[in-house]
A and B are shown apart, each in its own frame.
Chain A
Amino acid sequence: MNPHAKLICTVSLIMGTSITISSNHWILAWTGLEINTLAIIPLISKSHHPRAIEATIKYFLTQSTASALILFSSMTNAWSTGQWDITQLNHPTSCLMLTMAIAIKLGLVPFHFWFPEVLQGSSLITALLLSTLMKLPPITLLLLTSQSLNTTLLTLLAIASTLIGGWMGLNQTQTRKILAFSSISHLGWMIMIISYNPQLTILTFILYTIMTSTVFLSLAQIKVLKLSTMLISWTKTPMLNATVMLTLLSLAGLPPLTGFMPKWLIIQELTKQEMTPMATIITMLSLLSLFFYLRLAYHSTITLPPNSSNHMKLWRTNKTLNTPTAILTALSTTLLPLSPLIITML
């Protein structure tokens, strides 16, 4: 891609995210969201493949609809209460419309249909941006208004997202679609706890960002786009495949890895709020996603692929030093013993 265009898009992404997360006025928040949508369009379509163009169009249409709904909900609230403060969203129609708009923006069920297809149409690094950076402004808006939103609706969205994220991920062989469904199910966990303890939503989001970034960056280094490529990638980078396995198990939420921390704290908080059946349901539904994480982890470390390989290491290799991946891997597997420190920081 043209370096100048790439620079403008990257700077606009950072600017749009900063504008939305630091705003107090709805119009400024909407402006940041629109700048983000515009800036990522060329990044999704940069390979000029018909699948990428289709992904770009789908992304643009859904995000614009959601932005328009956010604008309508803020205007309805301003018309009835006379102020544009984000934290003072009191009109019931506005709260409902905003919940639906943020659900479309994030890719929560039942508005999740665009997400796997958009991720599949973009490159791995653009998919990383779509899963982590583009989720930050909508989650911020949801956190700011979480006290006024309908708890039952949020709980329904959360359980449906965990269910569909786990269930539909089972039949996927393309790694980007697997990670899309993993993202949907993690978002379900985040939305579950937002009415009771928004700090846990922030914690889950930060840890999910670290773990997903690790997986995406590692997969981008070994250029693994489907399960069959994953099976034979151990010959190129055996150490990276081992760490990918650990990171995937961390995403699945297995102790003693980092991914256990948000799930543990969320279950504890739900039980404290007398929502034990919900805690049980959401934990059981995470077992579905555990299956495809295990399958992916198994494929990354298996040393006997279906096609025979006569040697362990390929002799023609281009291993580049990748410091961010290393740092993120360390964070995404070893942060659990620091839970007391992290809880105090929240």
Chain B
Amino acid sequence: MTYFVIFLGICFMLGVLAVASNPSPYYGVVGLVVASVMGCGWLVSLGVSFVSLALFLVYLGGMLVVFVYSVSLAADPYPEAWGDWRVVGYGLGFVLVVWMGVVLGGLVDFWKVGVVTVDGGGVSFARLDFSGVAVFYSCGVGLFLVAGWGLLLALFVVLELVRGLSRGAIRAV
């Protein structure tokens, strides 16, 4: 089990590396998919399977699909794919950074993952994350409103930034 969870972690890092090495968005999306699938797997290993399911549905099934549709509307003639020297250069650079981080952070001797889950020692009937959603709607309604306003605000800010076809913020005067 430990080896499987470590494999999930390494594939997560590789997926993030694929995004960070600046390929064209069509190829970077592959990295995003890999990273989010491995992240969801890691969440399941911790015991919070409902949050993992919600992340899968909303992130992969909602946001990534919309992202791919919008990106496919703006095609560049010579996309930087995986074999491009710029992408390989960035990729090697980030591998070096991660290696330094692992060695200096002392993670080479921390191999005890995937054994204990978040609610492994509790006495509740419902899973921790699932009952957390119920709390979110009852006692934690203040945080619910704040989180809802934050999401709405993100929408309004993006709409304000791209308002006006050619006089919007993203395209320069």
Convert A1-36 into 0s and 1s, putting 1 for each residue whose CB lies closer than 8 angstroms to a CB of B. 010010011001001000100000001100100110
Q: Which residues of B contact A9 (CB under 8 A)?
A: 157, 160
A8 CA to B163 CA in the complex, in Å? 15
B160 touches A42 (CB 8 A): yes
Q: Which residues of A contact B164 (CB under 8 A)?
A: 48
B169 touches A53 (CB 8 A): yes
Is the C-beta of A129 less than 8 angstroms from some C-beta in chain B? no
A8 touches B156 (CB 8 A): yes
Is the C-beta of A104 less than 8 angstroms from some C-beta in chain B? no
B173 touches A49 (CB 8 A): yes
Nearest to A15 among chain B residues (CB) is: B149
A314 CA to B172 CA in the complex, in Å? 36
Give the interface SS of chain A, mostly helix, strand, loop or mixed: helix
- How many chain-B residues does the 8 Å CB contact rule pick out? 19
A293 CA to B172 CA in the complex, in Å? 35
Tell me how far the C-beta of B117 lies from the nearest C-beta in chain A, rounded to whole angstroms: 15
Q: Which residues of A contact B160 (CB under 8 A)?
A: 2, 5, 9, 42
Tell me how far the C-beta of A71 lies from the nearest C-beta in chain B, rounded to whole angstroms: 14
- How many chain-A residues does the 8 Å CB contact rule pick out? 22
B169 touches A45 (CB 8 A): yes
Nearest to A4 among chain B residues (CB) is: B156
B169 touches A38 (CB 8 A): no
Q: Which residues of B contact A38 (CB under 8 A)?
A: 150, 153-154, 157
A19 touches B161 (CB 8 A): no
Chain B 117-173 interface residues, beta-carbon cutoff 8 Å to A: 143, 146-147, 149-150, 153-154, 156-157, 160-161, 163-164, 167-170, 172-173
A161 CA to B161 CA in the complex, in Å? 33
Convert A194-212 into 0s and 1s, putting 1 for each residue whose CB lies closer than 8 angstroms to a CB of B. 0000000000000000000
Q: Do A48 and B173 contact each other (CB < 8 Å), given the known contacts A5-B160, A28-B143? A: yes
Tell me how far the C-beta of A122 lies from the nearest C-beta in chain B, rounded to whole angstroms: 13
Is the C-beta of A249 less than 8 angstroms from some C-beta in chain B? no
Q: Do A39 and B157 contact each other (CB < 8 Å), given the known contacts A2-B163, A48-B173? A: yes
A-B contacts at CB below 8 angstroms, number:
51
Is the C-beta of A41 less than 8 angstroms from some C-beta in chain B? yes
- CB-contact partner of A12 in B153, B163, B168, B170, under 8 A: B153
Q: Do A41 and B172 contact each other (CB < 8 Å), given the known contacts A28-B146, A48-B167? A: no
Q: Which residues of B contact A41 (CB under 8 A)?
A: 157, 161
Tell me how far the C-beta of B153 lies from the nearest C-beta in chain A, rounded to whole angstroms: 5
Q: Do A42 and B150 contact each other (CB < 8 Å), given the known contacts A28-B143, A53-B169, A53-B170? A: no
Q: Do A50 and B153 contact each other (CB < 8 Å), given the known contacts A2-B163, A5-B160, A31-B147? A: no
Q: Do A39 and B153 contact each other (CB < 8 Å), given the known contacts A45-B169, A48-B167, A48-B168? A: yes
A8 touches B173 (CB 8 A): no
A56 touches B149 (CB 8 A): no
Q: Which residues of A contact B172 (CB under 8 A)?
A: 50, 53
- CB-contact partner of A48 in B147, B153, B169, under 8 A: B169
B147 touches A56 (CB 8 A): no
Tell me how far the C-beta of B121 lies from the nearest C-beta in chain A, rounded to whole angstroms: 13
B153 touches A35 (CB 8 A): yes
Q: Do A42 and B161 contact each other (CB < 8 Å), given the known contacts A48-B169, A53-B172? A: yes
Q: Which residues of A contact B143 (CB under 8 A)?
A: 27-28, 31
A56 CA to B136 CA in the complex, in Å? 33
B146 touches A5 (CB 8 A): no
B153 touches A42 (CB 8 A): no
A5 CA to B163 CA in the complex, in Å? 11
A8 CA to B157 CA in the complex, in Å? 9
Tell me how far the C-beta of B102 lies from the nearest C-beta in chain A, rounded to whole angstroms: 15
Q: Do A31 and B150 contact each other (CB < 8 Å), given the known contacts A2-B160, A8-B156? A: yes
Q: Do A56 and B146 contact each other (CB < 8 Å), given the known contacts A5-B156, A35-B153, A41-B161? A: no
Tell me how far the C-beta of B72 lies from the nearest C-beta in chain A, rounded to whole angstroms: 24
Chain B: residues with CB nearer than 8 A to chain A? Answer: 143, 146-147, 149-150, 153-154, 156-157, 160-161, 163-164, 167-170, 172-173
Chain A: residues with CB nearer than 8 A to chain B? Answer: 2, 5, 8-9, 12, 15, 19, 27-28, 31, 34-35, 38-39, 41-42, 45, 48-50, 53, 56
Could you give 11 example pairs across A and B, Cβ below 8 Å?
A2-B160, A5-B160, A28-B143, A31-B150, A34-B150, A35-B153, A38-B153, A39-B153, A41-B157, A42-B161, A48-B173
A41-B161, A42-B157, A45-B161 known; 18 new pairs, CB 8 Å cut-off, are: A5-B160, A15-B146, A27-B143, A31-B146, A31-B150, A35-B146, A35-B150, A35-B153, A38-B153, A39-B157, A42-B160, A42-B161, A42-B169, A45-B169, A48-B167, A48-B169, A48-B173, A50-B172
Listed from nearest, the 3 A-B pairs whose CB atoms lie closest are: A42-B160, A50-B172, A45-B169
